[in-house]
């Protein structure tokens, strides 16, 4: 596998011109960029014009990751030319949130084949129900297929996200990239690092990803009491106080859910993933050092037993809430991911509205407020 990474900054252009000689039917051009597409439109058009044989896929970001640096309002790109790995992509537009599971099942069914090894998912970040999307994806796949990815971001505005493929940039697009063949290896790791706050409460009324009541009381009212003065900044300030959610029947670690919207009339909160009725939740708050340690721990979870040298792409997808909390220390978590990876690793990524990565059971699920890592390499 040949691998190069590039960065385009408005006003300065490319850090170096992408090598279009890497173009081939087995080439992947993966990018993450500024929500304001006009800032990077010329660069994306350049990629489209010079890489005509392979697959080009990208999405909007709440902050771009390039190596060990955080960038804003730019474009970060990885170009991978595989020797033997085949690529296939399935995309569809999401008409409404309730279609999330159906769309997930549809795109993964299109990719299913005997030598399918893994799927990378990029989804629009606001209209989708991430839990139901991944439930639909899992329903069509054998358990050994690795699924990772993320939901597109829009800084902390929660107004407009987009996914780009094959010349189409859409606020409703969901794409899944299939990786095929015996030579491809995919590693993954995911960790949070938040502290629990307050006592556990039962979800007494919810519908899918909309939470109405906790312990029989209006959910938004309880949430505002915890946030105090910061409640006036909802939903953005809710990123600083996600929920830890556990299901009594689950053997996996608790899941984390983060806010997408609030409804003052209904006193409800909309999350990026489902909040099942009967589950138990606790608020969480930031601990700077633990967030950074969590990023390092995500590296420790990755199985590198099949790695014996050669280029590695690390796709780092972290939650915008972590970026807002860490502030000037954000790059510390990005640096922490690279410290434990092979020396030939190149890293790009983005800050997202939701992260997709396997649980301890091996089945993929939606995460919020985590640093998730996907490593891709070809066996020598």
The CATH code of the domain that includes 272 is: 2.40.30
pLDDT at residue 251 is higher than 60: no
Phi and psi for 295 in degrees, rounded to 5? -60, -40
Residue with tokens 């107004």: 159
Helical residues (DSSP H) of 249-287, grouped into ranges: none
- Residue ending a domain, among 285, 312, 341, is 285
pLDDT at residue 256 is higher than 60: yes
Tell me the residue range of the domain where 269 lies: 195-285
Are residue 356 and residue 297 in the same domain, yes or no? yes
| 3-class state of residue 295 by DSSP | helix
Mean pLDDT, rounded, for 100-110: 96
CA dist 125 and 163 (Å) reads 9
pLDDT at residue 356 is higher than 60: yes
| 3-class state of residue 343 by DSSP | coil
DSSP state of 156: B
Give per-residue pLDDT as tens, 222-242. 999 988 888 888 888 887 888
Are residue 306 and residue 238 in the same domain, yes or no? no
Are residue 128 and residue 173 in the same domain, yes or no? yes
Q: Are 316 and 371 in contact (CB under 8 A)?
A: yes
Are residue 124 and residue 78 in the same domain, yes or no? yes
CA dist 179 and 377 (Å) reads 11
pLDDT at residue 148 is higher than 90: yes
Are residue 103 and residue 166 in the same domain, yes or no? yes
pLDDT attached to residue 350: 97
Give which of 338, 251, 327 is closest to 286, Cα–Cα.
Answer: 327
pLDDT at residue 257 is higher than 90: no
Q: What DSSP assignment string belongs to 57-116? A: EEEE-SSEEETTEEESSSEEEEEEE-SS-EEEEEEEE-SSGGGHHHHHHHHHHHH--TTE
Are residue 61 and residue 89 in the same domain, yes or no? yes
H/E segment holding residue 294: helix 288-300
- Residue ending a domain, among 256, 285, 314, is 285
- Radius of gyration over alpha carbons of the chain, in Å? 20
Q: Are 321 and 239 in contact (CB under 8 A)?
A: yes
Residue with tokens 């909390």: 325
Q: Sign of dihedral through CA atoms 19, 342, 339, 239? A: positive
Are residue 201 and residue 260 in the same domain, yes or no? yes
Distances (CA, A) of 42 to 38, 153, 162, 330, 364: 8, 20, 16, 28, 35
CA dist 296 and 300 (Å) reads 7
CB-based burial label for 182 (10 Å; 0-12, 13-18, 19+): exposed
Give per-residue pLDDT as tens, 269-296. 998 788 999 999 998 887 778 788 878 8
- Residue ending a domain, among 285, 316, 349, is 285
CA dist 97 and 125 (Å) reads 11
The crossing angle, in degrees rounded to 10, of helices 100-111 and 130-139 is 40
Are residue 278 and residue 333 in the same domain, yes or no? no
> 209 vs 120, which has greater pLDDT?
120
> Per the structure, how many domains does the chain have?
2
Are residue 278 and residue 331 in the same domain, yes or no? no
pLDDT attached to residue 360: 65
Give which of 38, 35, 39 is closest to 58, Cα–Cα.
Answer: 35
Give per-residue pLDDT as tens, 184-225. 999 999 888 778 888 899 999 999 999 999 999 999 999 999
CA dist 193 and 199 (Å) reads 18
Are residue 81 and residue 151 in the same domain, yes or no? yes
Are residue 225 and residue 307 in the same domain, yes or no? no
Are residue 86 and residue 205 in the same domain, yes or no? no
């Amino acid at each position: 596998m040949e691998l190069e990474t590039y960065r385009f900054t408005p006003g300065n252009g490319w850090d170096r011109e992408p090598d279009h000689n890497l173009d081939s039917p087995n080439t992947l051009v993966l990018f993450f960029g500024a929500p304001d597409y006009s800032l990077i439109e010329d660069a994306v058009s350049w990629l489209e014009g010079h890489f005509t044989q392979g697959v080009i896929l990208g999405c909007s970001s709440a902050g771009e990751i390039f190596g060990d640096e955080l960038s804003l309002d730019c474009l970060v790109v990885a170009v991978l030319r595989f020797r033997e790995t085949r690529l296939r992509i399935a995309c569809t537009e999401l008409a409404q949130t309730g279609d999330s599971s159906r769309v997930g099942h549809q795109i993964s069914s299109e990719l299913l084949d005997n030598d399918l090894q893994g799927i990378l998912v990029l989804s629009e970040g606001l209209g989708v129900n991430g839990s139901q999307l991944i439930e639909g994806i899992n329903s069509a796949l054998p358990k050994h297929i690795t699924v990772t990815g993320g939901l597109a971001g829009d800084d902390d505005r929660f107004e407009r996200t987009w996914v780009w493929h094959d010349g189409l940039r859409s606020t409703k697009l969901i794409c899944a990239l299939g990786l095929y063949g015996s030579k491809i290896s995919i590693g993954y790791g995911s960790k949070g690092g938040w502290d629990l706050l307050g006592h556990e409460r039962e979800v007494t009324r919810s519908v899918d990803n909309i939470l109405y009541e906790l312990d029989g009381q209006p959910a938004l009212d309880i949430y505002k009491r915890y946030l105090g003065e910061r409640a006036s900044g909802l939903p953005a300030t809710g990123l600083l106080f996600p929920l830890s959610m556990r299901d009594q029947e689950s053997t996996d670690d608790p899941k984390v859910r983060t806010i997408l919207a609030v409804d003052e009339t209904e006193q409800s909160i909309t999350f990026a993933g489902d909040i099942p009725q009967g589950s138990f939740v606790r608020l969480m708050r930031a601990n700077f050092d633990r967030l950074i340690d969590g990023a390092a721990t995500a590296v420790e979870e990755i199985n590198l037993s099949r790695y014996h040298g050669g280029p590695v792409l690390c796709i780092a997808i972290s939650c915008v809430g972590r970026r807002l909390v860490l502030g000037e220390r954000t790059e510390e978590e990005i640096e922490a991911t690279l410290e434990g990876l092979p020396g030939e690793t190149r890293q790009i990524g983005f800050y997202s509205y939701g992260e997709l990565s396997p649980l301890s059971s091996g089945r993929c699920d939606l995460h919020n407020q985590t640093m998730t890592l996907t490593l891709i390499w070809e066996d020598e």
